[in-house]
Chains A and B, each alone.
Chain A
Amino acid sequence: MPASTTVFQVGVDIGGTFTDLVAFDPDSGKVLEAKSLTTPDDLSQGVWNCFARSAVAPGAAEHIVHGSTIAINIAIEQKGAATALVVTRGTRDVYKIGRQNRPEAYNFSFARPVPLVPRSRTFEVDERLSATGERLIELSPEDAIAVARAVRDSGAEAVAVCLLHSWADPVHEVELGKRLRAALSGTYLSLSHEIVREYREYERTSTTVMNAYIGPKTSAYVGRIQERLEADDFNGRLLIMQSNGGVMAPETARKLPVAMMESGPVGGVIAAADLGTRLGFADVITFDMGGTTAKTSLVRDGDISIAQGYHIGGYASGHPVMFPVVDIVEVGAGGGSIAWIDDVGALKVGPRSAGSDPGPICYGRGGTRPTVTDANVVLGRIGAESFLGGEMPLDAGAARRGMEAAVGEPLDMSPVEAAHGIVRIAAARMSLAVRGVSVQRGYDPRDFALVGMGGAGPLHAVEIARDLGIPSVIVPNLPAHFSALGMLMADVRHDYVRTHYCPLPEADYAQIGSIYAELLATGRDTLADAGIGETARDYRRSMDLRYVGQEFWLQVPVTEEDIRMADGDSIHRRFTQLHEHRFGHAAQDEPIELVNLRLTAIGARPGIELPKTEGASRHGAANTRLVFLEDPLNPADCPVYQRPALAPGARIEGPCVVEEYASTTVLFGGDVASIAATGEIVIEVGEPT
């Protein structure tokens, strides 16, 4: 292959079915895409298949940002390492006992999470700290050595250590870590204070165990990608996508694989934040709809929303992970979601999906149960002839017949009425998810723009916006590849936490200042590892505060200045305002307490600037077709625009349909769209009629 002079920015995203690659050429502004089937036996192979298809050699890349489902797959398929756990004497069963809750209150068959470490591989050690870090029982070297031997003899491939109150002082974990390393060369080791220095022993143990459990395989995988890239003359920088919306150095990822777990859907959120800021919509809600689910997240002032913890496998029976994650709400409503009628005659949509095999009825691959996609075809919203640019004609007649048989007849509705109902129900469920990230977090969706992405997002975005009174919808360029593109825009980001519990008025700001300095030093080193220069580094501090007596805290941003000036009053005031905003009430005079100190270290990476779209030929609708929008009895004769033919500045009015290769945008009557200078469709949503 001839040496390329071009320096690409490459994003590679491994999903359950497909591996996606996008390569951005900053000189020409061109974006190349490639897709290949994911190769579960050796995930890196799918990546190299993409390189081959895209004709971009790894050696031609300056940065490669890599997102992978490997970490989450290991956890969900329970294919992790044989892991041992070392804990404080008396707490051997804390990991198994958990919080003892049964969220499905009336379910007698409810099952709590299955521990990833058996009790027989859990070891207790004599040592004890108090909540203030006082050493009540010292860890003796003999005991440390003895437990290290016991771990070795258990045949563990990985070991997690979580001692009580190690967040207050990690001295005993550090000591144990040394002994374990000495006794067990080559065994993967995770110490809880290095993963998360926050109180609550069960959740911290679960997080540390998860890190150790997925550690050996994930680390080997990252190592393999590094080796293969090196062998292919890659001299640039590899960065790994994280759940918190940032990227990290591969060396960090190998130590902290738990940070990769939920990195899949975050690319789209980052890209939407960037897009919104660029187009003058700093507050956006993302709406990413694919085949099986729809995901939504909220961006405010250009900042993505972060949740400080979540559960792998769901709240009810999943494993808690105390790690920051982009706050995404997901519902089982995608293009492949199946419509069905339950035993008392209620019409339901999802969460079961026809997936890609057999897929919707209209794919003609043996699907017999009507899906959301079939409904869109019956309504004329998806063009049967123009799907995937005409490469894959859809069987509208079959969709219509299936709709009639499965839904229309039993419910005494016409196929169009049934299809219309299915889309409305799916949209209502997605609206509930959008409410979940907005109204339930204290934000009014009417103050936001909705960004529709994923193959099916642009199809439903306007309907959801109408439902919630959202005034604008943005459909980005390449909506179906938006998530992979977003990975290229991610900054390096690391979140650090330290529990520091005291009444706010009694806070010792000198001590707080030195804790922040410590967190900052760690952050600085980690940013440097990822190649971030001095001037591109930024640090954000916040405090977790609550009224005395409350359990849940609010994360309140603070500045270096606040700490230096020991300005407790101003911090208190900000907390009160936030509480008022979030919950609608606050108590000015009540005492508040400090729970955790947080610091986020951010390393800015060069943005990618998409070029202005070429002035294409004069826009105009190539043809029209009948589409059912609000009224299932009267279709509208809609112009059908081809998106590549829409020039910047073009203005189109609904009702109409805009088609492009992998997606379709639907506008209702009263909606008006204009094409931005960079090509995005910006829709002003009309009033529902």
Chain B
Amino acid sequence: MSPSAVRRAQHPGSLDPVTLEVIRNALPAISDEMSVDLQRTSYNMMIYEVRDYCTALLDTDGKLISQNIGGVSHFVADLGVIVRDAVERYGRDGFATGDVLLHNHQAVAGQHLNNVVVYTPMFHAGELLAFAMVRAHWVDVGGLSTGFGAGWRAYDPWSEGLQLDQLKLYEAGVLDEKLLRVIRDNIRFPDNAMGDMRSQLAACRLGERRFRELIDRYGRDIVLEAIQAFYSETEARCRAAVAEIPDGVYRAESYIDWRDGGYDIKVEVTVAGSDMTIDLSGCSPQREGGANSRTYAGAYIAYKAITTPLEPLNEGAFSALEVIIPEGNMMMARYPAYMSSWSMPLPTVVDTILLALADAIPHRVPAAHSGSLGAALSFSGHDPGRDRNFVVMSIESGGWGGRRDADGQDASMSVCQGDVRNAPIENMELKGPVLVEERALRPDSGGAGRFRGGLGVQTRLRSLVHGRLNVASGAGGRVSCPPWGLAGGKPGEIAATLVRAPGDDDFHAPAEPKPAWPADTRVLYMTAGGGGWGNPRDRDPERVLRDVSEGYVSAESARDDYGVVLSPDGKTLDIDATAALRERLRKTEARQ
């Protein structure tokens, strides 16, 4: 089909390509503007640094009109279920201008309870047209939810925190004072959470206003028709990308160690023409360990990365994808399976889907990345010196996998975390009685390969007062199944968190995760490296030399993993010895 024929097929009627392009640019600008506004006014680092939020416009069928990009990716296109549930419960006529709804209930929302959705209906000439929505991580929703969330401490949804089930905080502009009091009285740091709620609401109002301006300018019918056209356009782009993948059924599996016995991650990807099916039925059933959810995010993130990584998000981005996850699966858990660690498996799920496709599209698939949401550095308590409560938090990420043409990136946020940023050392030390004694790359942590895996990070924190320290490993369960290499590349080093309390001789893995630690405790957070791509003995010896002289790779690893021999001072290559060693290693390998 010629482009014009495509266009005519996709855009019948009065809609001209120029108006279409103008609206096409305007819609993502709305969700992005909501995002900037939220970040700048929010009160907790989970929003302004960890970017643990999404901002979006949805139509009344729950279809995604536009969503911000850059925040946490595991919120990709996940708000539709909430709209569909609300419309079913309240009816299309059950909303009024000035309504503000709150929702985090796991039976529908399917995530940990800290992720609270604030949303507002948007009317035009009396007709309900869309919803402006902001999901954001509150620093506390009661229960055990403080900080990053209840995590391993939870045992059911009630222990996690407050459950808000499609509640109207405002009805037609009138605040429900009692509901507000119930919320305020049952959460810690109510000022912060209420500040965040205000920011979420302001971002929704902004989204409504911008959308209404667009409708006032171009007319209801044109804008709605344009949105439908974008859905089909986006779908067409995705289909074109999938059509380039050879047809077939591709499988891969991996494993997540977890305290409840661990999870099998088994994926099956079917490509038939421009259709793709990602079947996650083989993944473990829901468990007692809290790594439960109701989410398509693993499949969606992988699909988005393969098809249209740099394009804006709308409903069409996933309409050519079928995701199969049966009820009762860890990613389609039945209420009241609690979900305090809901997102933990997702980086591994994405990596595994990519692994399945590694042979089909080798130029597009990197070796595994660190596979976790990073080390969650956290220290909180009371500072007697300043008579003030404090919370110090940061996320430290690991290495990415090597690719067919490049080394993996060092110290980069996971595939789920996009524009998430670590906290500056100086910022942490301003906020609480703590010293960050080291933040460094971990030499030799990147998997060896023709293209090496990126390095992980080691960050050493020292508490100056008694307080709560997170000493969880940050490996995201990637221990017995470390970040794998591809095409002969070696796996990356796994993550670990070690502690050294006063009186200890050395750093050690904490025997049990106790929350409170005395002053002068040191915690060493080490994140994983990425897997290598290709046989390390095919790596350009000059690159190995550079890695050694820069201190990214040790001379031992250069010799043992890469077969590269350096002069005793480590500054020059011994070319003959290298050739001989590589030849010897090749023969040994061939015999095996």
Binding site for B on A (CB under 8 A): 90-94, 96-112, 118-120, 128, 130-131, 136, 164-165, 167, 199-203, 341, 343-348, 409-413, 420-421, 424-425, 428-429, 432, 435, 439-440, 501, 547, 549-552, 579, 583-585, 587, 590
User: Do B37 and A201 have beta carbons less than 8 Å apart?
Assistant: no
Interface-lining segment among B123-131, B245-253, B423-431, B502-510? B423-431
User: Do B198 and A108 have beta carbons less than 8 Å apart?
Assistant: no
User: Do A90 and B403 have beta carbons less than 8 Å apart?
Assistant: no
Q: 15 pairs across A/B with beta carbons < 8 Å?
A: A93-B411, A97-B422, A99-B421, A100-B422, A107-B310, A108-B309, A164-B425, A200-B424, A409-B4, A421-B21, A425-B18, A428-B25, A432-B25, A584-B202, A585-B198
Chain A CB within 8 A of B410 CB:
yes
User: Do B233 and A344 have beta carbons less than 8 Å apart?
Assistant: yes
**Min CB gap A661→B, angstroms:** 32
Of chain B, the residue at the smallest CB distance from A315 is B419
User: Do B16 and A421 have beta carbons less than 8 Å apart?
Assistant: yes
Chain A CB within 8 A of B88 CB:
no
Chain A CB within 8 A of B26 CB:
yes
Residue among A90, A120, A551 with the highest chain B CB neighbour number at 10 A:
A551
Interface-lining segment among B44-52, B332-340, B444-452, B577-585? B44-52
User: Do B3 and A410 have beta carbons less than 8 Å apart?
Assistant: yes
**Min CB gap B244→A, angstroms:** 12
Contact for A587 among B3, B198, B413, CB less than 8 A: B198
Of chain A, the residue at the smallest CB distance from B7 is A345
Chain A CB within 8 A of B41 CB:
yes
Residues on B with C-beta less than 8 A from A90 are 436-440, 460
User: Do B411 and A103 have beta carbons less than 8 Å apart?
Assistant: no
In angstroms, Cα B10 to Cα A345, docked, is 9
In angstroms, Cα B29 to Cα A584, docked, is 19
Of chain A, the residue at the smallest CB distance from B441 is A93
Chain A CB within 8 A of B406 CB:
yes
Chain A CB within 8 A of B39 CB:
yes
Contact for B195 among A118, A199, A341, A547, CB less than 8 A: A547
In angstroms, Cα B427 to Cα A455, docked, is 46
User: Do A411 and B441 have beta carbons less than 8 Å apart?
Assistant: no
User: Do A101 and B419 have beta carbons less than 8 Å apart?
Assistant: yes
User: Do A111 and B202 have beta carbons less than 8 Å apart?
Assistant: no
User: Do B41 and A109 have beta carbons less than 8 Å apart?
Assistant: no
- Assess A201 versus B426: contact at CB under 8 Å? Given A412-B4, A425-B18, A584-B206: yes
User: Do B48 and A552 have beta carbons less than 8 Å apart?
Assistant: yes
User: Do A97 and B439 have beta carbons less than 8 Å apart?
Assistant: yes
- Assess A106 versus B233: contact at CB under 8 Å? Given A199-B427, A549-B192: no
User: Do B421 and A429 have beta carbons less than 8 Å apart?
Assistant: no
Of chain B, the residue at the smallest CB distance from A501 is B430
In angstroms, Cα B301 to Cα A92, docked, is 34
User: Do A425 and B202 have beta carbons less than 8 Å apart?
Assistant: no
Residue among A100, A131, A343 with the highest chain B CB neighbour number at 10 A:
A100
Residues on B with C-beta less than 8 A from A341 are 3
In angstroms, Cα B365 to Cα A148, docked, is 45
Of chain B, the residue at the smallest CB distance from A420 is B18
In angstroms, Cα B566 to Cα A36, docked, is 54
Binding site for A on B (CB under 8 A): 2-4, 6-8, 10, 16-18, 20-22, 24-26, 29, 33, 36-37, 39-45, 48-49, 69-71, 73, 191-192, 195, 198-199, 201-202, 205-206, 233, 236-237, 240, 301, 304-305, 309-310, 354, 364-366, 395-397, 403, 406, 409-413, 415, 417-422, 424-427, 429-430, 435-441, 457, 460, 549-552
Contact for A432 among B26, B420, B425, CB less than 8 A: B26
User: Do B441 and A428 have beta carbons less than 8 Å apart?
Assistant: no
In angstroms, Cα B21 to Cα A425, docked, is 7
Residues on B with C-beta less than 8 A from A136 are 435
Residues on B with C-beta less than 8 A from A421 are 16-18, 21
Contact for A410 among B2, B70, B403, B409, CB less than 8 A: B2
User: Do A104 and B8 have beta carbons less than 8 Å apart?
Assistant: no
Contact for B430 among A99, A199, A203, A587, CB less than 8 A: A199
Residues on B with C-beta less than 8 A from A587 are 195, 198
- Assess A551 versus B49: contact at CB under 8 Å? Given A90-B460, A583-B41: yes
Contact for A200 among B7, B24, B409, B427, CB less than 8 A: B427
User: Do B419 and A105 have beta carbons less than 8 Å apart?
Assistant: yes
Residues on A with C-beta less than 8 A from B201 are 585
In angstroms, Cα B42 to Cα A585, docked, is 12
User: Do A109 and B403 have beta carbons less than 8 Å apart?
Assistant: yes
Residue among B36, B233, B406, B425 with the highest chain A CB neighbour number at 10 A:
B425
Residues on A with C-beta less than 8 A from B20 are 346-347
User: Do B409 and A590 have beta carbons less than 8 Å apart?
Assistant: no
User: Do B441 and A551 have beta carbons less than 8 Å apart?
Assistant: no
User: Do A105 and B410 have beta carbons less than 8 Å apart?
Assistant: no
In angstroms, Cα B366 to Cα A106, docked, is 13
User: Do A202 and B424 have beta carbons less than 8 Å apart?
Assistant: yes
**Min CB gap B42→A, angstroms:** 7
Give 9 nearest A-B pairs by CB, closest first: A105-B418, A345-B7, A421-B18, A549-B43, A90-B438, A345-B3, A106-B309, A99-B421, A428-B22
19 more A-B residue pairs beyond the given contacts A97-B422, A97-B440, A99-B421, with a C-beta to C-beta distance below 8 A: A102-B419, A105-B73, A106-B301, A106-B310, A111-B409, A120-B551, A130-B429, A131-B426, A165-B426, A199-B427, A345-B10, A346-B24, A421-B16, A421-B17, A440-B33, A547-B43, A551-B42, A584-B206, A585-B201
Residues on A with C-beta less than 8 A from B409 are 102, 110-112
**Min CB gap A83→B, angstroms:** 15
User: Do B457 and A550 have beta carbons less than 8 Å apart?
Assistant: no
In angstroms, Cα B396 to Cα A381, docked, is 56
- Assess A347 versus B236: contact at CB under 8 Å? Given A549-B195, A585-B198: no
Residue among A94, A105, A200, A585 with the highest chain B CB neighbour number at 10 A:
A105
In angstroms, Cα B364 to Cα A428, docked, is 35
Residues on A with C-beta less than 8 A from B411 are 93, 96-98, 100
Residues on B with C-beta less than 8 A from A579 are 41
**Min CB gap B547→A, angstroms:** 10
**Min CB gap B354→A, angstroms:** 8
Contact for A585 among B3, B18, B41, CB less than 8 A: B41
Residues on A with C-beta less than 8 A from B29 are 432, 435
Of chain B, the residue at the smallest CB distance from A587 is B195
In angstroms, Cα B550 to Cα A411, docked, is 55
Of chain B, the residue at the smallest CB distance from A107 is B309
User: Do A348 and B21 have beta carbons less than 8 Å apart?
Assistant: yes
In angstroms, Cα B388 to Cα A549, docked, is 13
In angstroms, Cα B426 to Cα A550, docked, is 16
Residues on A with C-beta less than 8 A from B397 are 100
In angstroms, Cα B26 to Cα A425, docked, is 11
Residues on A with C-beta less than 8 A from B69 are 105-106
User: Do B37 and A103 have beta carbons less than 8 Å apart?
Assistant: no
Residues on B with C-beta less than 8 A from A428 are 21-22, 25-26
**Min CB gap B5→A, angstroms:** 8
In angstroms, Cα B411 to Cα A98, docked, is 9
User: Do A91 and B310 have beta carbons less than 8 Å apart?
Assistant: no
In angstroms, Cα B3 to Cα A202, docked, is 47
**Min CB gap B489→A, angstroms:** 15
Of chain B, the residue at the smallest CB distance from A119 is B550
In angstroms, Cα B196 to Cα A498, docked, is 28
User: Do A345 and B419 have beta carbons less than 8 Å apart?
Assistant: no
Residues on B with C-beta less than 8 A from A105 are 69-71, 73, 417-419
User: Do A108 and B305 have beta carbons less than 8 Å apart?
Assistant: yes
Of chain A, the residue at the smallest CB distance from B309 is A106
- Assess A103 versus B437: contact at CB under 8 Å? Given A412-B4, A412-B8: no
- Assess A551 versus B195: contact at CB under 8 Å? Given A200-B426, A346-B21: no
User: Do A346 and B240 have beta carbons less than 8 Å apart?
Assistant: no
In angstroms, Cα B191 to Cα A187, docked, is 52
Residues on A with C-beta less than 8 A from B395 are 100
In angstroms, Cα B45 to Cα A131, docked, is 19
Residues on A with C-beta less than 8 A from B552 are 119
In angstroms, Cα B460 to Cα A432, docked, is 45
Residues on B with C-beta less than 8 A from A549 are 43-44, 191-192, 195
In angstroms, Cα B431 to Cα A200, docked, is 12
